[in-house]
Amino acid sequence: EIVLTQSPGTLSLSPGERASLSCRASQSVSGRSLAWYQQKPGQAPRLLVYGASSRATGIPDRFSGSGSGTDFTLTITGLEPEDFAVYYCHQYVTTPRTFGQGTKVEIK
Amino acid sequence: QITLKESGPTLVKPTQSLTLTCTFTGFSLTTSGVGVGWIRQPPGKALEWVAVIFWNDNKYYGPSLTSRVTVAKDTSGNQVALTLTNVDPADTATYYCAHTTYDSGPHPVDIWGQGTMVTVSS
């Protein structure tokens, strides 16, 4: 099983600032099969990025993903008020598929 | 347009079995490459992968639940059922079903249902 470790647990930032979220895998995620989701309270997760760096349909370009192997990053350039939420990384290359424990981006 | 909706009991007693149904539109599990996954989320906690079933009836389960969970598809009705046996209060969670695909490689779950909250308590 691939264990995903996200850091930091909480990120306190102001609107307009840049957020950098890390996801580290216990073993290499081949094919860059790593996705990022955003979840707001009371809502289902929403797919933001797949294939480590491809934005899902309708996702603003302030969201960008990067990385390969065991180290991946989600960057939000210029936080908007609606971006304050919890973010999860997810590997889907092997079974069982797994999620990270989440990073909460909160308003400072 | 793809939509999914979970349904089932909201309260289950410990040791009982829980069956949830995912009813979907906009795709069919008879189509090559299509799959439906189940993910759960205990209150205030992270997402946990539960199971996935594909068009060819291949099924994969999360390791912590393998002995208690089964997933089955009803292709004619566009439904997938998740059954969890011998439930425990630790199974209290919101359960989501979601669409996924596997063509020329795996794809992540992309469209999610709204989720259904299940409480295990006597």
How is B68-114 classified by DSSP, letter by letter?
Answer: TEEEEEETTTTEEEEEE-S--GGG-EEEEEEEEEBSSSB----EE--
List the 29-58 stretch of B: residues with Cβ below 8 A of A: 37, 39, 46-49, 52
Query: In a 3-state reduction of DSSP, which class is residue B32?
Result: coil
CB atoms A50 and B112 under 8 Å: no
Phi and psi of B62, rounded to 5°? Answer: -65, 140
User: What is the rounded distance in angstroms from the CA atom of residue A95 to the CA atom of residue B106?
Assistant: 10
Among candidates B39, B46, B105 on the partner chain, residue whose Cβ is nearest the Cβ of A101 = B46
Strand partners, A68: A71
| B49/A98 touch (CB, cutoff 8 Å), yes or no | yes
* Residue indicated by tokens 């594909």: B54
pLDDT at B88 over 80: yes
Look at A83-87, B10-14, B76-80, B89-93 and tell me which has the smallest mean pLDDT: B76-80
- pLDDT of B39-53, one tens digit each? 999 999 999 999 999
Given a cut of 70, whether residue B77 has pLDDT beyond it is no
Name the percent of chain A lying above pLDDT 90: 94
Is B60 in CB contact (< 8 Å) with chain A?
A: yes
User: Which pLDDT value is given to residue B66?
Assistant: 87
